[in-house]
Amino acid sequence: MHRGEEDYIKYIYKLTIEANKNIVKNNILSELLGYTNQSVNEMVKRLVKKELVEFIPYKGVRLTQNGIVEAKRLVRNHSLWEVFLVNKLGYSWEEVHVEAEKLEHAGSNELIERLFNYLGKPNYCVHGNAIPKLDGNMPKIYNLSLNNVNVGDVFIVKRVLDHPKLLKFLKQINLELHKSIKIINKDEVNGLISVLIDNKLFDIKSIDAEKIYGIIN
């Protein structure tokens, strides 16, 4: 597989399996990847030929069993390199994405397994994404977004999407994985959620809150 094909497989995985959805529309893919609809459609055709994705007219694409195996391998590589960069080389969580994007395409299975053992067999990446196991089994995927909780709830952050701007913002307001925050107010009109973090009040935009996942305490 080419690197471009691998990236598609991985994004389809993120938008379906990691997002708890069955299928993703081609135009959502082009928006996310920043490619034209036409180039997305062409790539989808290529991946259909290779039996990595399935295209359902008017509905979109989803991974085949082979596609899922490939995607999990890539996500596993990506996540393990992230853990390595943060825990062993001192990178911050908003810096690792670009490096891990390159590293995920490199390295033999042997190298990745040694890395996995060296890192203490982690279940989650530094952003809280579940790392697929070698046999394809998955640790729990956190899918309850901060947007969908109520005023008064105490929410524990378990996973955030790997978007550099979001990660920088979260650092500014000191919001890390496993922290509990209390929902103080939801301003639906202006799209803001007010939360208490370490006893300080912060406003989080709904478009950011939908990228933050966790559990209600």
CB of 129 to Zn ion, least distance (A): 5
User: Should residue 127 be labelled a site residue for Zn ion when binding is judged by CB under 5 A?
Assistant: yes
Residue type, 187: D
Cβ closest to Zn ion, residue 61 vs residue 96? 96
154: region left, alpha or beta (phi > 0 left; psi from -120 to 50 alpha): beta
User: Should residue 170 be labelled a site residue for Zn ion when binding is judged by CB under 5 A?
Assistant: no
Binding-residue total with Zn ion (CB under 5 A): 5
User: Should residue 10 be labelled a site residue for Zn ion when binding is judged by CB under 5 A?
Assistant: no
Question: Rounded to whole angstroms, what are the CA distances from 205 to 67, 121, 161, 175, 210?
Answer: 34, 35, 15, 14, 9
Q: Which of 68, 125, 181, 209 is in the footprint of Zn ion by CB under 5 A? A: 125
> What whole-number distance in Å separates Cα of residue 147 and Cα of residue 23?
22
User: Should residue 104 be labelled a site residue for Zn ion when binding is judged by CB under 5 A?
Assistant: no
| Contacting range for Zn ion; rule: CB under 5 A; set: 47-55, 118-126, 191-199, 208-216 | 118-126
Burial category of 120 from C-beta neighbours within 10 Å (exposed 0-12, middle 13-18, buried 19 and up): exposed
Cβ closest to Zn ion, residue 77 vs residue 129? 129
Which residues have C-beta within 8 Å of that of residue 83, sequence separation ≥ 6?
A: 119, 122, 125, 126
Cβ closest to Zn ion, residue 86 vs residue 193? 86
Contact yes or no for 16/23 (Cβ under 8 A): yes
User: Should residue 162 be labelled a site residue for Zn ion when binding is judged by CB under 5 A?
Assistant: yes
Compose the 61-100 pattern: x for residues touching Zn ion by CB under 5 A, - for all others.
---------------------x------------------
Q: How many residues does the chain have?
A: 217
- The residues that touch Zn ion, with contacts defined as CB under 5 A, are 82, 125, 127, 129, 162
